[in-house]
Amino acid sequence: MTGFVCSPGTRVNGDIRVPGDKSISHRSIILSSIANGRSHISGFLQGEDSLNTITAFRQMGVSIERNGDRVRVDGVGLNGLDAPAGDLDMGNSGTAMRLLLGLLAGQNFDSRLIGDASLSSRPMQRVIDPLQSMGARIESEAGGRAPLQVRSSGGLRAIHYDMPVASAQVKSCLMLAGLYADGETVVREPAPTRDHSERMLKAFGCEVGSTDSVIRIRGGQALTACDVEVPADVSSAAFFMVAAAIAPGSDITLRHVGINPTRTGVIDILRLMGGEIELLSRREIGGEPVADIRVRSAQLTGIDIPLELVPLAIDEFPVLFVAAACARGITRLSGAGELRVKESDRIQVMADGLAELGIETQVKDDGIVVEGGPIGAGRVDAHGDHRIAMAFSVASLRAAGDIRIEDCDNVKTSFPEFVELARAAGLRIDIDDE
């Protein structure tokens, strides 16, 4: 089991580019595989999660060639996938499992989705229920957990579905199933979530209606191959944004970062806390807004995080809790119950780790209260959650002594270059292979 030993640092500087966006990387493989023709993808994330998605589609007869972060996909069309000979292993990726479940529900063959221990403990009932109302035949372990057996349904029917909780994964799952349904599938989301699926489906020539939190997609539409450029992942950039914000004397520029408005909650929250953040060279690449992000150190102040920003920063809260620990005063988060069912219970795991480092917190059912203060040395457990491990690495910049972080293996699932880039920027991280 791999651990990190992170020593106190001074400042973060540099001009770097973090790896490609994981959400967009997954979707680029899924849609190009069921499109007609050859697609080229550049900037693809070379993490285990994304590579597992490539493997799954190869198992279903799609020819995919990869050369570093460049991928060529020869799509087989909407109904051209083959039955896989074995299980489709999604590793640690909830995104891949939920999106593929929607796609597989509409196929005329049986399939089985599996994952690692962490993924197998995460709830899938939120996608199973609406898919079953469309006519999908899905069998799961107790509580709607993987492994998931998907049986040929003989055809799906369109539904109108009001999502009880804002979730881009649920929305995207139902959109993919809607491509195989008879009629028009309508999904209403209670709050805005990332819209990468809508944007990319349109780029592949699919008609998608999207107004007033209502998404409409008509079944049977053919997708046409296109080229996809994956921007740098704002969720990965967030660790360096917070690092530069909390470490005095820091000044860092992050290149070619996706700034999709459904993903920029971390920028908005840091600015509300007093962060100095500039968006430079704004442009649009393949339907996705992109910019260079410059962050300089600033004295942060605790805030009540606006509810409307919560779904726009749901993946970035572990490192935002570190920003809160370094801020003057108290930061309050509510409306974030979704954090309880990520790769770990991110509210409780971060609270436990911060407590080990001397930071006072109050855990709520759907949030947390963090009181800023001095960060001490200590040992924390990442519980196999990549974002927890990277968040506490950032905390070491303001620590009184070494922070030892246990169970960091899964960092490579989403950000395989993290340690190297972090060291280049000024963090002091050693690998501890126990």
Active site residues: 315
Cis peptide preceding 147, ω within 30 of 0: yes
310: left (phi over 0), alpha (psi -120 to 50) or beta: alpha
Q: Could you give the C-alpha distances from 65 to 57, 99, 144, 363, 394, in angstroms and in order?
A: 12, 22, 34, 46, 35
Six-digit token pair at 292?
Answer: 């260079």
In 3D space, the residue among 24, 9, 90 whose CA is nearest the CA of residue 54 turns out to be 90
Residue 135: name the closest of 148, 149, 154 by CA. Answer: 154
Cβ contacts of residue 420 below 8 Å, gap of 6+? none
**Closest C-alpha to 365, from 390, 341, 394:** 341
Instruction: Compute the distance between CA of residue 40 and CA of residue 349 in angstroms, rounded to an integer.
Output: 39
Strand partners, 67: 70
Asked whether the beta carbons of 52 and 77 are under 8 A apart, the reply is: no
